[in-house]
Amino acid sequence: MKRFSVGQKWVMTDAVFGTFFGEVTEISDEGRSASIVITDDQGNEVDTFTGSATDFLASGEWQLFAR
């Protein structure tokens, strides 16, 4: 995956800290970079990520969220 799209959703489950969701809110560089809001399983915003798709995928075990 080399490009983001607005509204794209991601999920990561950690054995200690629980499940986290990421949603792409803004893209740049033709989708190669993005701003992603990260929430916990309660819907609380816990972090944001701004950077490339490569860096995002290297930051954890993120998987595209299938509804």
pLDDT one-digit tens code per residue, 3-46: 999 999 999 999 999 999 999 999 999 999 999 999 999 999 99
| Tokens 């991601």 sit on residue | 10
Q: What is the Cβ-side half-sphere exposure of residue 5, based on CA atoms within 13 angstroms? A: 3
- What pLDDT sits at residue 35? 98
Q: How far apart are the first and last CA of the chain?
A: 18
